[in-house]
Structure 1
Amino acid sequence: MRKYIGYYIRNFDYPLFFTYVFLCLFGLIMIYSSSMMVAIVKEEEAPDYYYIKQLINLTVASIPFIIGAFFPYKHYSNKKLMVMMTLGMIIVLIWLWIFGVGFEQTGSKSWLDLGFMNFQPSEVAKLFIILYFAGAFYRKSLNNPLENLQPNNIIYPILIWIFVIFCVANEPDIGAVMILSGIAFAVIAASGMSFKAYLKFFSVFAILGGLLIAFILLVKGDKIFTENRLGRLKVFLNPFEYETGSGYQIINGYIAIGAGGLEGVGLGQSVQKLGYLPEPHNDFIMAIIAEELGVLGVILVLAGLGFIVFRGLQIAMKTEDPLARMIAAGISSWIAIQTFINLGGVSGLIPLTGVTLPYISYGGSSIIMLSLAMGILLNVSMYVKLESKKKLRGG
């Protein structure tokens, strides 16, 4: 154990770790700044209400982070562990159907009430798909080179993915469905599968996904196309036509972004957080960052997130281990896709989905699962460094 810790410390990815810590602490500061009015008016609590809750979330998140960082990633291909993860994910999603909690403003039954917090299983599903796909594909590669794999060789991962997508879409959580789909394709692309086989796989996904979407729309179309969601689509096309209704939030987001300029109005000095943006500490926190800290603040956040994505892809490209490659590519793609969906919604490039900004927005289940993912990525990075050193010594 002491030898393992010694190896770990010597090969620890400090730039990646400190970037993660910086984003979490920066997010904590911005949550305090952006949520003060919401805490006082909506929750009738002290101004630091959400700040304290997020501080607790980060403290709790440090436990899975440490576990992910020190638990060898090789074990994620273990058949027994994969079966346990799959059964656990199925139980959690079924539990969501029975005991799920939804909020009126979103119309989504996507949380489990644990008493001390509301937990979102779709956050678990994102990391589950990465680890399950990576483990399943890796196990297949032990008997058959990955470049020779065909869709019919990996029918079980496809069925598991369909089940997870069906459950999440049934909530419905459109943003999570987009992320889960993007993650799946990223892991498959990093597997080493031939381009011809990948196209076949993509076709199977597209056909089954289309049938699944058609079925869900047939059964729950009235619940999916609620007035709130239709309003988001209309707002995407022309928000200023609905400035007193569905476009209210995004227009005030634009005002916040425009008011910040280059340097911002100053930390804590936002006007839009004073009741104009309904949830300024959640998916619209970047608008408050832009208003208070200006373009420089936005660049700071994007640089941090961009570095994590770049580092993850760099790790994936350097390693010769397909399991490490798929896990690193999956985690970095998750952060990249979720960041794009969040910023795309805030800026009006895509319709709003309510997806949080990784490591910055307020949220317990989000920061816990993203911290676990970061720990796993650090563990993979350590092994890739050891792998490179062994190659150099061997050469």
Structure 2
Amino acid sequence: MLKKMLKSYDYTLVLAPIILSLFGLVMIYSSSMVVAVSDKYEGTPDLFFMKQLKWLILGIFVYIMVLGFPYKAYKIFLKLIFFGAPILLVSVLLFGKATNNAQSWIFGFQPAEFIKLGVIIYLAGVFSNKQSYIQKFVPAFGPPLMFIFFIFLLVYKQPDLGTALLILAISGMIIVCSGIRLKHLGRLALVGVIGATLLYPLLTDEQLNRFTAAYDPFHEEIADEDGYQLINSYIAIAAGGITGEGLGKSIQKFGYLPEPHTDFIMSIISEELGIFGVGFVLFMLTFIVWKGFTVAVKSPDPFGSLIAIGIAGMIGIQSFVNLGALTGLLPITGVPLPFVSYGGSSLVLLLISMGILNNIAMFSRLKSSEKQNNEEKKIAYL
């Protein structure tokens, strides 16, 4: 059985995220060496590189553990997620550590990152259990929608609007694929529009300025403040051209582009490695997302399928939001680029997610193999 399992794993889903994470590790070192020795951090040039390396080793270790854990067993955690996620987020608001104007850290990690995976597993479990009456809106979607709304409010209060909206987007993707009726989906879309309208007046001046900075960064009143990061991102991208300035030869990382190893690391990749470096990252991310949806289609049950959709959607949406921010297509939200940006919580979460995804792929292949063997036995018997 163990031999069959080992043969059934999708090893492209092992290699792709690890290769991309190792590439990110190199770029984190290149983009952060100047920041690391600045007065703010007073460290050695490899400060962030070594921290990310430790997280990567931990992430790979957890990935291997998750790889062998049957994904169907995650259903036993549904109640724990339902009650535990809000309690954890409330604890962050009460006792968490504030960083960059957001109180989102506790015990050395960001719970909101792991809440994303928790929401995916919870919604996949609930909707797979309700397939017999999924078209009855209130009993099928009432409790899950209340859970999503409560999680959104708690993350928004940190305040972390970017992650809160990302959770909504991932949840929306799972709901669309759950079997919901079109008229119910239309009602939800209307509620979303009304919610966004009501939310707009509640945005802080800083959050509103991010919209202005995204679409008019050169305005004289914001060019030196909220538009500063985006303008320098444009300069980095333009400087890279086709082939780039060369690995380690970025100018923008010398104090011009703030925190270049985090959300705007793709700007440094563009500056140093040009369109080839950007193309490599985009190809790898696209491949991972495509594989995720492929696993979802081939999954033998709704639970595995919805988890795969949620994980693929999380990586795809997060990539789009990050790249949209550094190109001025979307406001800056602080969402990291999957597998590439500096951030231990994000990296470990993503590797755990990939382990679950590969476990679903493995069981799908085993199921398909068993079905094929049974058909061959029937033919031989006849």
Give the alignment partner of residue 163 of structure 2, picking from 170, 176, 183.
176
Pair 1:199-2:186 in alignment: yes
Letter matched to residue 66 of structure 1? I
| C-alpha deviation, 1:210, in angstroms | 5.0
- Give the distance between the partners of 1:189 and 1:305, measured in 2 at CA: 23
Q: Which residue in 1 is equivalent to 2:256?
A: 276
Residue-by-residue CA offset, 1:39-97 (whole Å, 9 max, x unaligned): 0013111100000000111122223322321111111223xx21122222122111111
Q: Please report the RMSD computed on the Cα atoms of aligned residues, expressed in angstroms.
A: 1.8
Pair 1:339-2:319 in alignment: yes
Closer/same/farther in 2, CA of residues 201 and 236 from structure 1, 3 Å limit: closer
Residue-by-residue CA offset, 1:320-379 (whole Å, 9 max, x unaligned): 411111000000000010000000000000111111000000001111111111111111
Letter matched to residue 102 of structure 1? A
Give the alignment partner of residue 389 of structure 1, picking from 360, 369, 377.
369
Pair 1:307-2:301 in alignment: no
Q: Which residue in 2 is equivalent to 1:375?
A: 355
Q: Which residue in 1 is equivalent to 2:69?
A: 71
2:336 aligned counterpart, secondary structure: coil
- Give the distance between the partners of 2:82 and 2:95, measured in 1 at CA: 20
Q: Is the 8 A contact 1:69 1:375 kept in 2?
A: yes
Q: How does 1:130-149 map to 2 (within 5 A)?
A: 130-141=120-131, 144-146=132-134, 148-149=135-136
Pair 1:101-2:94 in alignment: no
Q: Which residue in 2 is equivalent to 1:123?
A: 113
Q: Which residue in 2 is equivalent to 1:232?
A: 210
Q: Which residue in 1 is equivalent to 2:380?
A: none
Q: Is the 8 A contact 2:16 2:284 kept in 1?
A: yes
Closer/same/farther in 2, CA of residues 249 and 211 from structure 1, 3 Å limit: closer
Q: Is the 8 A contact 2:299 2:361 kept in 1?
A: no
1:38 aligned counterpart, secondary structure: helix
Q: Is the 8 A contact 1:151 1:201 kept in 2?
A: no
1:74 aligned counterpart, secondary structure: helix
Q: Is the 8 A contact 1:192 1:322 kept in 2?
A: no
Give the alignment partner of residue 27 of structure 1, picking from 17, 24, 28.
24
Deviates more, 1:165-174 or 1:311-320: 311-320
Q: Which residue in 2 is equivalent to 1:8?
A: 5
- Give the distance between the partners of 2:209 and 2:192, measured in 1 at CA: 29
Pair 1:213-2:199 in alignment: yes
- Give the distance between the partners of 2:225 and 2:300, measured in 1 at CA: 53
| C-alpha deviation, 1:158, in angstroms | 1.3
Closer/same/farther in 2, CA of residues 271 and 264 from structure 1, 3 Å limit: same
Under a length normalisation based on structure 1, what TM-score does the superposition of the two structures give?
0.89
Residue-by-residue CA offset, 1:6-25 (whole Å, 9 max, x unaligned): 23211011111100110110
2:258 aligned counterpart, secondary structure: coil
Q: Which residue in 2 is equivalent to 1:92?
A: 88
| C-alpha deviation, 1:124, in angstroms | 1.3
Give the alignment partner of residue 172 of structure 2, picking from 172, 185, 195.
185
Closer/same/farther in 2, CA of residues 247 and 200 from structure 1, 3 Å limit: closer
Q: Is the 8 A contact 2:86 2:154 kept in 1?
A: no
Q: Which residue in 2 is equivalent to 1:110?
A: 104
Under a length normalisation based on structure 2, what TM-score does the superposition of the two structures give?
0.92
- Unaligned 5+ segments in structure 2 are 376-382
2:218 aligned counterpart, secondary structure: helix
- Give the distance between the partners of 1:85 and 1:229, measured in 2 at CA: 30
Pair 1:247-2:237 in alignment: no
| C-alpha deviation, 1:145, in angstroms | 5.0
Closer/same/farther in 2, CA of residues 50 and 381 from structure 1, 3 Å limit: same
Q: Which residue in 1 is equivalent to 2:139?
A: 152
1:350 aligned counterpart, secondary structure: coil
Closer/same/farther in 2, CA of residues 212 and 84 from structure 1, 3 Å limit: farther
Residue-by-residue CA offset, 1:132-173 (whole Å, 9 max, x unaligned): 0001111222xx154x34243332211111110010111121
Letter matched to residue 96 of structure 1? V
